[in-house]
Every structure is written in structure tokens, then in C-alpha cells.
Amino acid sequence: MHAIGIDIGGTKIAAALVDEFGTIIRSDRRPTTASDPRGIEDAVVEMITGLAEGEEVVAAGVAAAGFIDAAQSVVYYGPNVNWRHEPLRATLEARLDIPILIENDANAAGWAEFCFGAGQMYSDMVMLTVGTGVGGAIISENRLFRGGFGCAAELGHLRIVPNGRSCGCGAQGCIEQYGSGRALLRIANELADAGGIGQGLAAARKGKGKLTGKDVGRLIQDGDNGALAALRQLGSSLGQACASLSAVLDPQIFVFGGGVADAGDLLLEPIRAAYLENLPARGFHPEAEFAIAQLVNDAGVVGAADLARKHVFTK
Ligand SMILES: [Zn+2]
């Protein structure tokens, strides 16, 4: 039995028809206009209708950034698309004749990694998606952990610095301000301003007027000392957060996705070092594994489809 997964991102909507082994049968992709929620709904309806044509489809899962209610129906708050208490499931189900489930995008990606990727061999996994922001997913005892209100695993908003930098969520000192792609750019710019090991970063910035994530990524791969120092600082913050998460969730593995995870072991090394340094009962507590996500761009659609299918069959 196939299911459809939809992943609504900030710049595009990805869609796929997925089998029960997480294999994509067919896919589709369209640009998003974040300021046009009705246009996004129309596109999602068209994509689901197109992918379902001639197929037996059991359900469709729609993943988006934001706080989703426990019934997986209402988007309480969407940071990209301007949804506020949006009854997205009811709107879509009124236009389609298959069950629809709404899912947080980081949860969908984490579930895909757990079932078909880096987390397959474990029962307890934490995934951190390090993109522009920091997303999170928690798998505890083989189940996706959603919390009492449906809004659990917003790990980007775990506080690591008391009275620290202001965050878009309204709080201060969240890991997103120290461990995201946006934070990496900020640190890189600070190092470029400081001179010394930041010379390479400063030269790249001078050429184009500003640094981009791609520039920093390229300098990391080239072994530039400044870019590597920025990545180590980022990894150190993420590793501290992992140590705190261990005290609460005790995962066997931490999986890292998102654009910054392209740095691979160069990112994992400082994370692991800071985790070990800050781990409660260090030396006595078993050490978690650290891995890079395997499904990369397909994780959102594969996870959304699989969660929708499982929801229908366990009802
Ligand atoms: Zn925050």
C-alpha cells in the first residue's frame, strides 16, 4: 500500500508517492510562495491528486515547519507560511478523498531517518536538523515523541546560554542562536572582522560583499583555519545541547541533518568532544553514537508518507 508525502519548505513543495519500505515510486516538486497560503493549498491538492492517479493510496502526510496540534490537524503557528491556528487538515480533506495527516517537518525527517536511515539499528534517537535554524525530532522507545500538546521536540529552542542572544521564538539563549546555519555565518563574520585566522573568510567576503553559507562550506572543505574554527565553535554549542538532551532522553544515537551536516565528520568531531565533556556521570554513562543523516533531501516526504500510513493502520 502506497502513501503520499508532502514537504512544504520555505522555497519549494516536494511531494512523493512512497511504498512501505520508504522507496520513492514517483515524485513532484513546485516552487512555494510563502505569502500565499491559499496558493500552497491549491498546489498540495493538485500534487496529491496527480500522484494518486491510478494508484491505491492509503493516506497522505503533509509536513511543514511549525507547531502542529496533537490531533495533527491544526497548524498553531507556521514560521514560513503565515498560518495561525490554521485548520489545514480539514481544508485539505474537504477537497480530497483520502485521509490527511499534518506533521512537523523535522518530525517527518527524523522518523524517516529512524525507519530507513542512520537510526535503523536503534530504539532511541534524537535528530537535530541544522539548516537556517535548528529543528529537532525525538524517537523514544521506537515511537515518535509528540508531547501532550503535539509540540514536543522543538529542540532548536532549548536554552543553552542564560540571558543569551534573542531568538525569533521570543526567548533568549536558544541553541538555534548558537548552533544553526545562520549562527555559523554570524561566527564566520565575527572571525573575518577579527583578522588572524579569519583572513580567508575576510577575503571571501570582500570579493562578493557578503559571506554566504556556500562560501563558508567551501572554505571548510578547503581546510581554511577560520572556517574550521567557526565550525568547531558551532559544534561545541551543539555538543553541549546533546549532553543536556542525554540527561532527559538518554538516546543511543544523535543524527544530524540539514545543510550544515554536509561538513560530515568535521562537524561531528567537535560535537562529540563537547558532549563528552559535558555529559552527566561522564565516564560511567554509556556514550551515544553520532552520525550524519542518510536520506538528506527525501527525508521529509518519506517520513510524512510513512507516518500517515502508520496512523491509518493503527487507528
Ligand atoms: Zn528560541
* Whether pLDDT at 10 is above 90: no
Using CA atoms of 52, 53, 54, 56 in order, give the dihedral in degrees to the nearest 10: 20
CA 169 to chain centre: 16
CA distance linking residue 89 with residue 82, whole number of Å: 16
> What architecture is domain 2-111+297-314?
2-Layer Sandwich (3.30)
User: Quick one: pLDDT band at residue 315, thresholds 50, 70, 90?
Assistant: low
CA of 63 to the centre of ligand 1 (A): 21
CA of 134 to the centre of ligand 1 (A): 9
CA of 196 to the centre of ligand 1 (A): 32
pLDDT digits (tens, 9 = 90+) for 231-286: 999 999 999 999 999 999 999 999 999 999 999 999 999 999 999 999 999 989 99
CA of 145 to the centre of ligand 1 (A): 20
Res 307: pLDDT: 97
Angstrom CA distances, 186 to 31, 176, 244, stand at 28, 12, 24
CA of 169 to the centre of ligand 1 (A): 4
Tell me the residue type at 111: W
CATH 3.30.420.40 in the chain is located at 2-111+297-314, 122-180+227-293
CA of 310 to the centre of ligand 1 (A): 31
> What architecture is domain 122-180+227-293?
2-Layer Sandwich (3.30)
User: Quick one: pLDDT band at residue 105, thresholds 50, 70, 90?
Assistant: very high
CA of 107 to the centre of ligand 1 (A): 17
CA of 173 to the centre of ligand 1 (A): 7
pLDDT digits (tens, 9 = 90+) for 57-86: 999 999 999 899 999 999 998 888 889 999
Confidence (pTM): 0.94
CA of 132 to the centre of ligand 1 (A): 13
Q: How many helices (H) and strands (E) does the chain have?
A: 10, 13
